[in-house]
Amino acid sequence: MPSHAIEARGLDVGYGSRPVLRGVDLAIPHPSVSVIMGPNGAGKTTLLKASLGLARILSGEIRVLGVPVPGRLEEVRRRVAYVPQKEEVSWGVPLRVIDVALMARLIKKGPPRRPTREDVDAAEEALEFVDMLWARDRCFKKLSGGQQQRVLIARALASKPELLLLDEPLSAVDAESRRKIAEVLARLRDEKGVGSVVVTHDVNPLAPIADYVALLSEGRLVAAGPLAAALTPENLRKIYGPVAKVVEVGGICYAIVGDAHR
Please report, as ranges, the residues that interact with Mg ion according to CB under 5 A: 45
Count other C-beta atoms under 10 Å from residue 86's C-beta. Answer: 18
Distance of closest approach, residue 145 Cβ to ligand ATP, in angstroms:
17
Q: Which of 40, 112, 118, 243 binds ligand ATP (CB under 6 A)?
A: 40
Distance of closest approach, residue 113 Cβ to ligand ATP, in angstroms:
28
Per-residue binding letters, 47-66, with ligand ATP (x by CB under 6 A): --------------------
Strands 33-37 and 195-199, how do they pair? parallel
Q: Which of 5, 11, 20, 76 binds ligand ATP (CB under 6 A)?
A: 20
Distance of closest approach, residue 204 Cβ to ligand ATP, in angstroms:
16
First to last CA, the chain: 42
Is 46 near ligand ATP (CB under 6 A)? Answer: yes
d(CA 55, CA 61): 13
Of 131 and 202, nearer to Mg ion (C-beta) is 202
Distance of closest approach, residue 260 Cβ to ligand ATP, in angstroms:
9
Rounded to 5 degrees, φ, ψ at 94 are -75, 115
Strands 6-14 and 19-28, how do they pair? antiparallel
- Among 24-32, 41-49, 148-156, 202-210, which window interacts with ligand ATP (CB under 6 A)? 41-49
d(CA 16, CA 190): 40
Residues 6 or more apart whose CB falls under 8 angstroms from that of 2 comprise 30
Distance of closest approach, residue 171 Cβ to Mg ion, in angstroms:
10
Is 193 near ligand ATP (CB under 6 A)? Answer: no
Nearest residue to Mg ion by CB is 45
Cβ pair 196, 164 in contact under 8 A: yes
Of 44 and 155, nearer to ligand ATP (C-beta) is 44
Distance of closest approach, residue 123 Cβ to ligand ATP, in angstroms:
29
E strands, 15-88, are: 19-28, 33-37, 56-64, 67-69, 80-83
Rounded to 5 degrees, φ, ψ at 84 are -75, 165
Q: Which of 8, 42, 135, 227 binds ligand ATP (CB under 6 A)?
A: 42
- CA-nearest of 167, 252, 147, 171 to 209 is 252
Provide the binding-site residues for ligand ATP, judged by CB under 6 A.
15, 20, 38, 40-46
